[in-house]
Chains A and B, each alone.
Chain A
Amino acid sequence: MKPEVILHSFSYLTRAAATTVAVSFAGIIFGFAIGALVCAARVSRRPWLRRAGAVYISVFRGVPLLVQLLFIYYFLAEYGLDVPAIVAAVGALALSSAAYQAEILRGALNAVPHGQGEAATALGFSGLDIWRRVLLPQALRISTPPLISEFILLLKASSLVSVVGIAELTRVSMNIASETYRPLEAYLAGGLFYLAINLCLAALGALAERRLGTPSAR
């Protein structure tokens, strides 16, 4: 064991950790936007929209993330779209996470008591107001802890984007391993960074749970 290997490349690793967090965060934000649309399709009154939402979820939860990532990567190349690899990376994380987030949001919507919507209707709220003032605020509150769990899962999954050459934590650990011939130390250091970030996120999740009084779905 030569811990100085890690100390020498520490600043390199912290920058890579920042990239990992940024890529995952972008994935979760875009994933939330897409996931909200998929969830809206899933609870829509139109059967074909419900069917389309279900197919989306089944495909993006069924196909392994690495296959999705390479598919998007090669798809962009096949159709001559010259975009940087980061677009494929964030796109794959977002599309895949959207399927999980859509289910989290749907579960949260179902958890809002039925009587609430009915009471709002009885009081003469308009359809939009029922969503904006009654259903969405409560659903978002219920879904916060499971969304943080999803963020942890996505952060771990983001290690796969090293395959398309993004200089995130896993890729940088690989580089350090091949430059120093010290793979054990390099991957231990990378792993510890992931662990530290995830423990912070888990603490955030526990805090959110206590504050909001909703159980996490971990």
Chain B
Amino acid sequence: MSVSLFWHYAPSLISGFAVTILCWAVGGALGLALGFAIALIRRLKLAPLNWPIRIFIEIFRGTPFLVQLFLLYSGGPSIGLKLSATAAGVLGLALYSSAYFAEIFRAGFAAVPAGQIEAAVSVGMAPLDTMMRVMLPGALIAAVPAIVNMLIILSKETVVLSIITVPELMYQVQTMAAETFTAFDAIFGMAVFYWLLVEAVSRLGARIEARVTAYLAQQGAPA
């Protein structure tokens, strides 16, 4: 295993890492926003929207991420949706994660005690205020552990984007491997790198979680 190999390819590896982080951040942020919007719409309990939303969630949770990517990237042009590989990758991450985030937020809203909402109504809070000041803070804090977990899963899914030729880290590593005939060294380095990355992200996530939910421990209330 030669370190000089990685050194020689450092520029392309660094640009690949930047693309990985970018896809993860943008895809995750869009997925969170879309998932949150879906959870909100579900709370309105509009009958005509219930089924489409349930079908959307079932489809995106019931099929492999790779198939969704192929459908967007190669199937898209047939219905006039021409996307670059990176755009298709980011949109794919966003749609895939939004289905999971929608369920996470739904569970978060369900975790807000009914008494708190009744109390807000009885002291005369407007519906919007009830939402912003009572429901949202409670729901978000209850959802934090699941959100962190999903973001970690999503960081691992970015590797799949290499299959539709998004120039992220895995793609650059495979290019390097093909050009230098060092498949084993390259993939070994990649495995160690990802392990350290995911370990670091998990530790960071645990700290954020502890911080956000710290007040629960003080009060001794159930999370």
Using CB atoms and an 8 Å cutoff, list the residues of chain A in contact with chain B.
58-59, 61-68, 70-71, 74-75, 77-78, 156-160, 162-163, 170, 173-174, 177, 182-188, 190-191, 194-195, 198-199, 202
A78 CB, min distance to chain B CBs, angstroms = 4
Residues on the A chain within 8 Å of B58, using CB: 195, 199
For residue B76, give the distance in angstroms from its CB to the closest CB of chain A. Answer: 8
Cα of A182 to Cα of B184 in the assembled complex, Å:
36
* CB pair B67 A187 closer than 8 Å: yes
For chain B residues 64-85, which have a beta carbon within 8 Å of chain A? 64-68, 70-71, 74-76, 78-79
Work out how many contacts link A and B, with CB atoms closer than 8 A: 109
Which of B9-17, B187-195, B210-218 lies on the face that meets chain A?
B187-195
Instruction: Select one of B79, B183, B198 contacting A184, CB under 8 A.
Output: B79
Closest 4 CB pairs of A and B: A159-B64, A184-B75, A183-B74, A62-B198
Residue on A nearest B70 in the bound complex, by CB:
A187
Q: Is the CB of A159 within 8 A of B67?
A: yes
Q: A63-B198, A183-B74 are in contact. Are A70 and B187 (CB under 8 A)?
A: yes
Within 8 Å CB of A160, what residues of B? 64, 66, 160
Interface residue? B163 (CB, 8 A): yes
Q: Is the CB of A67 within 8 A of B191?
A: yes
User: How far, in whole Å, are A176 and B51 apart by their CA atoms in the complex?
Assistant: 31
Measured CB to CB, the closest approach of chain B to A75, in angstroms, equals 7
The verdict on A62 contacting B194 (CB below 8 Å), with A159-B64, A187-B71 known, is yes
B67 touches A190 (CB 8 A): yes
Contact B64 A170 (CB under 8 A): yes
Are the C-beta atoms of A191 and B59 separated by less than 8 Å? yes
Q: Which residues of A contact B190 (CB under 8 A)?
A: 67
Known A183-B70, A191-B68: A64·B78 in contact at CB below 8 Å? no
User: Which of A59, A66, A184 meets B71, CB within 8 Å?
Assistant: A184
Q: How far is the CA of A173 from the CA of B64 in the complex (A)?
A: 13
Main secondary structure of the interface of B (DSSP, over half): helix
CA distance A190 to B65 in the complex (A): 12
* B143 sits at the interface (CB 8 A): no
A158 CB contacts on chain B under 8 angstroms: 64
Q: In the complex, which residues of chain B have a beta carbon less than 8 angstroms from the beta carbon of A170?
A: 64, 66-67, 70
Instruction: Known A-B contacts: A184-B78, A187-B74. Give 11 more (CB < 8 A).
Output: A63-B198, A67-B194, A77-B183, A156-B64, A158-B64, A162-B66, A170-B70, A183-B70, A186-B75, A187-B71, A195-B59
User: Of the candidates A58, A74, A156, A174, which one forms a contact with B70 in the assembled complex, judged by CB atoms under 8 Å apart?
Assistant: A174
> Is B71 touching A191 in the complex (CB atoms < 8 A)?
yes
A residues less than 8 Å from B222 (CB atoms): none
Q: Is the CB of A75 within 8 A of B64?
A: no
- In the complex where A62-B199, A70-B187, A184-B75 touch, is A173 in contact with B59 (Cβ < 8 A)? no
B156: interface (CB < 8 Å) = yes
Report the nearest B residue to A75, measured CB to CB.
Answer: B184
Q: Answer whether residue B63 sits at the interface, using C-beta atoms and an 8 A cutoff.
A: yes
Of the candidates B58, B71, B162, the one having the most CB atoms from chain A within 10 angstroms of its own CB is B71
CB–CB A156/B63 < 8 A: yes
Smallest Cβ distance from B199 to chain A, in angstroms?
6
